[in-house]
C-alpha cells in the first residue's frame, strides 16, 4: 500500500477552510491554492538529498547544506492542477513543468485524456503530480500511468482533498506512489463530487461555473 500523508499544519488547515467556503470567489481561491501549494511543497520535498558545502560569510566560513542535483518535474493535471504550479515554482524555480489534460466524462466519471506534454528526462527527475481533487481516483491514476510510460521512476501525488474511494483506487493502481493531501473527506456523492469537498475546483479557480 502507498502512504497517505495528511498535512495537518495549522496554516494549511486554516487556508483549506477558507478555500472550501462557498463564498470564496476565484481571485481568493487562486491566491489560497497558490499559498497552500507552497506550504505543502515544504513536506512533499522533504526527502530531497542534501550535501554539505562551505560558504564564506562576511565573518567566517559556514558549513551549510544544499540540495543536491535538484531535478524536479511538476506535472499538473489540467485544469485545476494549474493552480498549484506557481507556488512550488517560487520555491524551486529550476523545476520543469509537464502538462496532462484530462477531464471526467460526466456520465461515466471515467477520465478522458486530451493532452500530454512531459519533460523528456523524467527517469532522472523527482516527479510531483498536482491536482487539488482526488475523487474517484481515475484522473490521478491515469495521469500516473501516462507519466510512467515516459520512464518516470520516482513519483509523488500532491492533492488537497481526497475521498476514501479515490485513495483506494489510486492505491490499487500505484501502490508505490505516496499521496500527500491536506484532508481526507467523508465520501463521494452520486455525481462523483467529494463530500463536503470544495465543489468543482476547476470552475472555482477559473470562474467558469
Where on the chain is the footprint of ligand PRP (CB under 6 A)?
A: 77-80, 102-104, 109, 111, 131, 133-140, 166, 192, 200-202
Nearer to ligand URA, 6 or 62 (CB): 6
User: What whole-number distance in Å separates Cα of residue 53 and Cα of residue 66?
Assistant: 7
- Asked whether position 72 contacts ligand URA by CB under 6 A, the answer is no
Helices 138-149, 164-173: axis angle to 10 degrees equals 20
Catalytic residues: 104, 108, 200, 203
In this chain, which stretch among 2-10, 83-91, 118-126, 191-199 interacts with ligand URA, using CB under 6 A? 191-199
197 is an interface residue for ligand URA by CB under 6 A: yes
Q: How far is the CB of 5 from ligand PRP (least distance, A)?
A: 18
* Minimal CB distance residue for ligand URA: 135
- Identify the CA nearest to 1 among candidates 118, 130, 168: 168
Stretch of 20-28, 53-61, 151-159, 197-205 contacting ligand URA, by CB under 6 A: 197-205
166 contact, one of ligand PRP, ligand URA, none, CB 5-8 Å limit per kind: ligand PRP
In the list ligand PRP, ligand URA, none, the entry touching 144 (Cβ below 5 to 8 angstroms by class) is none
Binding site for ligand URA (CB under 6 A): 133, 135, 192-194, 197, 200-202
Amino acid at each position: 500500500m502507498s502512504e497517505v500523508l495528511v498535512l495537518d499544519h495549522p496554516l494549511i488547515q486554516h487556508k483549506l477552510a477558507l478555500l472550501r467556503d462557498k463564498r470564496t470567489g476565484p481571485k481568493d481561491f487562486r491566491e489560497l491554492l497558490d499559498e497552500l501549494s507552497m506550504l505543502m511543497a515544504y513536506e512533499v520535498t522533504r526527502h530531497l538529498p542534501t550535501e554539505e558545502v562551505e560558504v564564506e560569510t562576511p565573518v567566517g566560513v559556514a558549513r551549510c547544506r544544499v540540495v543536491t542535483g535538484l531535478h524536479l518535474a511538476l506535472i499538473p493535471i489540467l485544469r485545476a492542477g494549474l493552480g498549484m504550479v506557481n507556488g512550488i515554482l517560487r520555491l524551486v524555480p529550476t523545476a520543469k513543468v509537464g502538462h496532462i489534460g484530462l477531464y471526467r466524462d460526466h456520465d461515466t466519471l471515467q477520465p478522458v485524456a486530451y493532452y500530454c506534454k512531459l519533460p523528456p528526462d523524467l527517469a532522472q527527475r523527482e516527479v510531483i503530480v498536482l491536482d487539488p481533487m482526488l475523487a474517484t481516483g481515475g484522473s490521478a491514476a491515469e495521469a500516473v500511468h501516462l507519466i510512467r510510460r515516459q520512464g518516470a521512476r520516482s513519483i509523488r501525488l500532491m492533492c488537497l482533498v481526497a475521498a476514501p474511494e479515490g485513495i483506494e483506487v489510486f492505491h490499487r493502481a500505484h501502490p508505490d506512489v505516496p499521496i500527500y493531501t491536506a484532508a481526507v473527506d467523508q465520501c463521494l456523492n452520486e455525481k462523483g463530487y467529494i463530500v463536503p469537498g470544495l465543489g468543482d475546483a476547476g470552475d472555482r479557480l477559473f470562474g467558469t461555473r
